[in-house]
Each structure stands twice: as C-alpha cells, then as structure tokens.
Amino acid sequence: MITSLPMMNEVIGNPLLDKFMKDLIIQILAMISEQERNESKRRQAQGIQVAKEKGIYKGRPILYSPNAKDPQKRLVYYRVVELLEQGKSISTIAKEVGITRQTMYRIKNSK
C-alpha cells in the first residue's frame, strides 16, 4: 500500500531527506490507521453495551456446561463434574475425557 503512493516514489535529491520524508509519511499513516482502529473498537464496545442493555447480546455460548447445545459436550461436562466429586486430579480427568486442563479449571470454577 505504501509503495503505491506517488509521493513515496519521488526523490528530493538528498538521500537523508528522502529517507526522513518517507519515514515521516509512514509514521503519519500508521498513526491515522491506529486512530481509526481505536475508534472502531470504541464504537463496537458502545454497540455491545447497548445490545447488552436490551438483552440482545449474550456473548459466546459456553461449550461445556449443563445447558450446552451439543449433547456430547453436555455429557463431558457431567462426567467431569462427577469425576471432580470423586476427588480425581485435574490432569487425570482432562486426559480421560479429552479436554485441556484450562477447560477443566473453567468447569471446576463454574460449578
């Protein structure tokens, strides 16, 4: 994108001044791009907040929970809870049911 700008192909004559000008243009474009991205994030956050207030936005559904959409993942959740109640270790349960330890901790902390 930067090389397609006509100004980037012009030469002033002094190599140091040419490099300075090109670096300055790149810095300005980077700053503008960053400001646009921040503004976009701010607007998105405002939209999410409004949607949450209206009860529309709920976020990503939890994969392993008692009311998970996927029945297989619901079974994994119940199996994990059962094994936790039996006192088995996190690593052992994670290996047995085929999920990560991080997911195990999420399930453990959510119940």
Q: What is the mean pLDDT of the chain?
A: 88
Are 111 and 104 in contact by the 8 Å Cβ rule? The answer is no
pLDDT tens-digit map of 3-12: 566 666 666 6
pLDDT tens-digit map of 76-87: 999 999 999 999
Percent of the chain with pLDDT over 90: 60
> Among all chains, which residue has been given the structure tokens 């297989």?
72
For residue 111, pLDDT beyond 90: no
Question: Which domains are delineated in the chain?
Answer: 2-54 (no CATH), 71-110 (1.10.10.60)
Are 93 and 104 in contact by the 8 Å Cβ rule? The answer is yes
pLDDT of residue 99: 94
* Stretch 79-96: mean pLDDT: 93
Cα gap 37→21, rounded to integer Å: 24
Helix extents (H) in 1-111: 6-9, 15-54, 71-85, 90-97, 101-110
Residue 39 backbone dihedrals phi, psi, to 5 degrees: -65, -40
Cα gap 106→33, rounded to integer Å: 37
